[in-house]
Each structure stands twice: as C-alpha cells, then as structure tokens.
Amino acid sequence: MIRVMTWNLWWRFGPWQERSKAILKTLRDARPDVVGLQEVWGQGDDNIAGWLAKELGMHWAWAPSPEPGRWQRRIDDPTVDVGNAVLSRWPITERESIVLPPGEEGPDGQQALYTRVAAPSGVEVPFFTTHLLSHPYASATRCAQVSALARFVHERRGDGDFPPVVTGDFNAEPDSDEMRLLSGTKTAPAVRGQVLYDAWRYARPGAAGQTWDLANPHAARILEWDTRIDYVLVGPPGPVGEGHVRNVRRAGDGPVDGVWPSDHCAVVADLATEADGLGG
C-alpha cells in the first residue's frame, strides 16, 4: 500500500510559527508515504517543506512560484517565496515544474510540480501537485490551467503500471467545469483517453468530505460555505489493481494543542500496490 496526501499549508498567514508545529504533528500522525503540498513558504535557505522533510526523515522537492508578488504584498515581506512541494518517504528520481496559463487575470505564478517516486519493489509513482487560481469568477482560467496540467500528466506519466497521482488545491468544487474536464469521467477529458478518478468517490457513505470547513476558524473568517476543493486524483488501476483507492479520509481537520494547522483540511488516500492489488 502507498499512502498519499495533499495539503494546502496556508503559507505564512496567521500564527504560522505555531501552525508549523501543528502541521508536523499532523503529518506524523497521518504517516503518508508521498505528500503534495501547496502554499509552501521558503525564505533563503529556510523552507518549511525542507524542515518537515528533515523532521520526518523524508526526501523533498520544491518549486517556488515565478510570480510571488501578490503573496508578498499580503504580508508586506518581499523576501518570502511561495510554491508547491513534494515530500516522499522514498527517493525522488525525477522532478519538473511548469507554469500554468494565467488567463485574463494576468501572471500570478500558478504551476504544477511533477516528481517520480521510486517506491519499494520497483514501483515507480508519477506524482503531481498543483495549486490553481483562487478567484471565484476565474473558472475559465482554471479550465485552461487544468488542460495544461492534463497535458503535463500525459507527457510525464511514463509507461509503468502504477497510474499517475495528481494532488492539489484546485479551488473548484467537484461539479465544476474544471474538475469535470480534468477527471474526464463526466465530460470529454482535456487529453483524449486520459481519465483521473476522484479518490473521494471511494469514501465511506456520510464521511465528512469538505476541505474548506467552517468549523475551522481560519476558513470561517472568509464567510464562504463548506465545500471540497482539495483532491487526490488517480488514473485507472494497473493490471493487478495498482493505484486502486482502498481508503480515503480527511486529516488536519481539528486543532492540535489548540492550534488549527491550516485553513484547509488535508486529504489522505491509501492506494494499492502490486503486492496488495486486486489481482495480487
């Protein structure tokens, strides 16, 4: 089994130093093998993904945004970078990032990060993480961004039996045009023949699925509704069930020692490998 996770860390907002400790505790408790992180901060040699990797004994890859200005202005500090990162229990053998199209809103640095993870028994996991534009009215831009992301996945997924895993904060609800376009199960996919399953469809009936949860005071301050905007997406299972979703749940959905770790909940999914697949 391979446990994957996605989580938006809410950059350097709020009580970020106390939140960092809560983020670490949450990751320790969840015990993921591979994690896609968004709104990761870096400042010179200091990087929260690097610190988390060191504390957890994991490998890591980091892709800073080429356009961090809007973020830096929000905290009045031009020295802090923002970007995406991947943590992995196993070696990362390839990495590449692309900048996603900005649309009419102008360049804002949204990107996608690809890594190839060398899991045990020769299993190679093509793993992606991304963070799309958040403006509520920007569905058309997000559609263009997921189209670029889908092509990136198609180009980098490779020929292995383990399907691509795509994680991130898509800032889009499950029935939105952009998520339908990316998953390809309810409309024509962005790349012909490429389908990505939403891991949450395998959740237990009645399981709380919102990753933007008004029980979280960091989220409640925005005065929006409970919704699900963070995803683990997986290609169709391999020949013996590789990548099949065995379990999915939220994490980071409560305070740690009185501190909510982020304004987003994380999503954790357990994926079958060749050793424990449906045909193994």
The amino acid at residue 67 is: E
Q: Which whole number is the average pLDDT over 58-81?
A: 94
**What pLDDT score does 104 carry?**
79
**What pLDDT score does 280 carry?**
41
Q: Is the pLDDT of residue 226 over 80?
A: yes
Q: Is the pLDDT of residue 277 over 90?
A: no
Q: How far apart are CA 170 and CA 264, in angstroms?
A: 12
pLDDT digits (tens, 9 = 90+) for 231-263: 999 999 999 999 999 999 999 999 999 999 999
End-to-end alpha carbon distance in the chain: 12
pLDDT digits (tens, 9 = 90+) for 134-173: 999 999 999 999 999 999 999 999 989 999 999 999 999 9
**What pLDDT score does 223 carry?**
81
207 with 269: CB under 8 angstroms?
Answer: no
Q: Which distant-in-sequence residues (6+ apart) come within 8 Å of 32 by Cβ?
A: 3, 4, 5, 87, 89, 268
- Bridge partner list, 62: 85
100 with 111: CB under 8 angstroms?
Answer: yes
Q: Which whole number is the average pLDDT over 20-41?
A: 97
**What pLDDT score does 162 carry?**
96
**What pLDDT score does 105 carry?**
76
Mean pLDDT score of the chain, rounded to an integer? 93
Q: Residues, the chain, total? A: 280
Q: Which whole number is the average pLDDT over 10-32?
A: 96
Q: Which whole number is the average pLDDT over 198-221?
A: 90
pLDDT digits (tens, 9 = 90+) for 179-189: 999 999 999 99
**What pLDDT score does 278 carry?**
52
* Phi, psi (degrees; rounded to nearest 5) at 61: -135, 145
Domains of the chain: 2-271 (3.60.10.10)
80 with 9: CB under 8 angstroms?
Answer: no
* pLDDT more than 70, % of the chain: 98
Q: Which whole number is the average pLDDT over 201-219?
A: 89
Residue 100 carries which DSSP code?
Answer: P
Query: How does residue 103 score in pLDDT terms, banded at 50, 70 and 90?
Result: confident
- Please name the helix (run of DSSP H) or strand (run of DSSP E) that holds residue 35, with its range, or none: strand 34-43
Mark out the alpha helices in the chain (DSSP H runs): 16-30, 48-56, 69-75, 139-156, 177-183, 217-220
Q: Is the pLDDT of residue 107 over 90?
A: no
Q: Is the pLDDT of residue 279 over 50?
A: no
